[in-house]
Amino acid sequence: MMQAMATRAESAALTRRALLDAAADLLDLGGPEAVTLREVSARAGVTRGAPYRHFTGKDSLLTALATESWERITDQVHTLRTDPALSDSDKLRGALRVLIGVGRGQPHLYQMLFRRHGHRPEELGEGLDRVRRQLCAPAGDPAADRIRAAGRFQEEFLIIVTDLVGERNARHYGALLLASAHGIADMELTGHLSTDSLRTTSDELVDTLVRMVTDAGETT
Amino acid sequence: MMQAMATRAESAALTRRALLDAAADLLDLGGPEAVTLREVSARAGVTRGAPYRHFTGKDSLLTALATESWERITDQVHTLRTDPALSDSDKLRGALRVLIGVGRGQPHLYQMLFRRHGHRPEELGEGLDRVRRQLCAPAGDPAADRIRAAGRFQEEFLIIVTDLVGERNARHYGALLLASAHGIADMELTGHLSTDSLRTTSDELVDTLVRMVTDAGETT
DNA sequence: CATTTCAGATGACGTTGTCACCTTAGCGAC
DNA sequence: GTCGCTAAGGTGACAACGTCATCTGAAATG
């Protein structure tokens, strides 16, 4: 009765969306362990087997969630970058804070963004080589889609860094900035960056980071 | 027949160790999902219920593994710090590389080190406040033990940073360095720090990081 | 030697991911 | 219109898992 009048494709799309939304809610509430395909299905108004018509399994569903989040983040950073009112360093600070903001607001979703590629037992030990292979994987493969989405974010981010430190050092400092921001976000949400014992806030750390990189980047 | 002649306490200690070792093996091989209490018990030569005499559950076992690893890492860093042949910046570089080395050599164990504190559904949303409370928790509580072990590492690490940048900025730059190193390690082991597309190695990133901090730290 | 205690064994239960199989409604061909 | 195809969704079942209540037997204690 909810999706009363709907063509077949529309109905399927609605179901898929409902599954993703329900999974996102459960993920925010109780982490990956709380995302149970049965509960997701129930919240989406379908039965246990329905998700397998849209995803290959639980992992695929979680990965699709991460892909969507990467795309959302990329859009935010793109908007930041093309804002003429902001200075280059403001854009960089903003981009880093977008990432940290996700970690703060949706910690479990954030951890899905940086999940290991191919964490199945049979896929271990291949490391980064697998990533390269997956970049050539067909569209629709959930894992490959997520990697590509994360890659598009990195490209967007790299443009900002390039504007600030020049093309020569952009990739090096870009990697450093990204890794540092991720480390700050991850340690904060896991409780390992105690603001009490270390007497620092994430924002101050980002400021210091950007300042150091601009200083080092200009003189090189 | 293996532990033929042994008092009860000795036998129990041997079993506990065998459980931890088996769990560590499985963790290295297939990640947390592959660590099944049944398989751990089988490899340790006991039955399914035995682990519950030594740990409160699966989570407790994994947490104990992380605690042991933190202690091992702390020892390594302490050895580095008290080595008179090393310069202050060499000690710092070494300490950061110890962390990254664990991430490279035992990726799944590394991710256990930085697991979220209290990731059970009923414990969410409390954030860092929970950490402070757990610091006062009784010894034997697996989660609190791990936090304390991680704290001891941070203290050891902070001494190195203090020697390099002075006590005034030690905590700020210490947090920054630690978070950055963790970000590098984590992004490398999850495949998000592509050495191809970014044309950088973790070692180069550490070098740049230490150089930037020493420059910024001295002038402040 | 009698008793307590505790490591370990065993059986059971609920939950979960996954799949094979079935049902049914939308859609095009004629 | 009707027929057949296709794919979304429903249903039952299965294996694996974490966990616990209960039992057993041997070491420890007096």
**Average pLDDT rounded to a whole number, residues B28-32:** 96
Q: Any chain B CB within 8 A of the CB of A174?
A: yes
Instruction: Specify the pLDDT at position B173.
Output: 96
CATH superfamily of domain region A1-54: Homeodomain-like (1.10.10.60)
Q: Are A50 and A15 in contact (CB under 8 A)?
A: yes
Instruction: Specify the pLDDT at position B8.
Output: 76
Count of alpha carbons within 13 angstroms of residue A14, beta-carbon side: 12
Instruction: Specify the pLDDT at position B125.
Output: 39
Q: Name the amino acid, one letter, at B188.
A: E
Q: Is strand D in 7 Å reach of the CB of B21?
A: no
**Average pLDDT rounded to a whole number, residues A72-100:** 98
Closest to A23 (Cα-Cα) out of A34, A12, A11: A34
Strand D contact nucleotides, protein CB < 7 Å: 7-13, 16-22, 27-28
CATH superfamily of domain region B6-54: Homeodomain-like (1.10.10.60)
B196: nearest CA in chain A? A132
Partners of B132 on chain A (C-beta within 8 Å) are: 194, 196
Residue boundaries of the structural domains of chain A:
1-54, 58-219
Instruction: Specify the pLDDT at position B102.
Output: 98
Q: Do domains B6-54 and B58-219 have the same CATH topology?
A: no
For residue A86, pLDDT over 70 is answered with: yes
For residue B5, pLDDT over 80 is answered with: no
Instruction: Specify the pLDDT at position A10.
Output: 81
According to DSSP H, which parts of chain A are helical? 8-34, 37-44, 58-81, 88-105, 107-113, 128-134, 142-165, 167-190, 195-198, 202-219
B58-219: CATH number: 1.10.357.10
Across all strands, nucleotide nearest B7 (CA–C1'): D27
CB atoms within 10 A of CB B176: 27
Q: What is the dihedral of CA A143, A145, A149, A155, to 10 degrees?
A: 100
